[in-house]
């Protein structure tokens, strides 16, 4: 699947999610910041960042147990992580983009 195809499918899913919310269905985005991003596994985001050459952002979140948020804004996807989880991802740096490794190291 190309990056554009993936982005289109995510946009379609988010639109369907919004329509279902309007009739009282559960929100599948679980996005605490209200961006409407899909939640994913942190490792999956790192792999997508590498595969599609898309920037990965790491920011602080309000969660006590998972104080970091990892996202790919271009794909409207995010994950939460503990500092320990981020260190585990750093240990996998051979398969990551250089800017991803730098972002992880700057948070540790």
Instruction: State pLDDT tens for residues 79-92.
Output: 888 878 877 776 66
**What is the per-residue pLDDT for 12?**
95
Contact 37, 71 (CB under 8 A): yes
User: 3-state SS of the chain?
Assistant: CCHHHHHHHHHHHHHHHHHHHHCCCCCCCCCCCCCCCEECCHHHHHHHHHHHCCCCEEEECCCCCCCEEEEEHHHCEEEEECHHHHHHHHCCHHHCCHHHHHHHHHHC
Q: Is pTM, for the whole model, over 0.85?
A: no
Q: ∠ CA(58), CA(81), CA(48), 5° rounding?
A: 60
Q: Is the pLDDT of residue 35 over 70?
A: yes
- The model's confidence at residue 30, banded by pLDDT at 50, 70 and 90, is low
């Amino acid at each position: 699947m190309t990056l554009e195809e993936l982005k289109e499918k995510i946009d379609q899913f988010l639109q369907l999610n919004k329509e279902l919310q309007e009739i009282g269905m559960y929100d599948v985005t679980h996005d605490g910041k209200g961006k409407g991003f899909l939640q994913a596994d942190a490792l999956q985001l790192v792999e997508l960042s590498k595969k599609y050459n898309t920037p990965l952002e790491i920011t602080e979140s309000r969660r006590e147990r998972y104080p970091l948020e990892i996202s790919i804004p271009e794909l409207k996807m995010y994950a939460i992580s503990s500092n320990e989880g981020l260190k585990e991802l750093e240990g996998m740096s051979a398969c990551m983009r250089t800017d991803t490794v730098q972002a992880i190291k700057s948070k540790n």
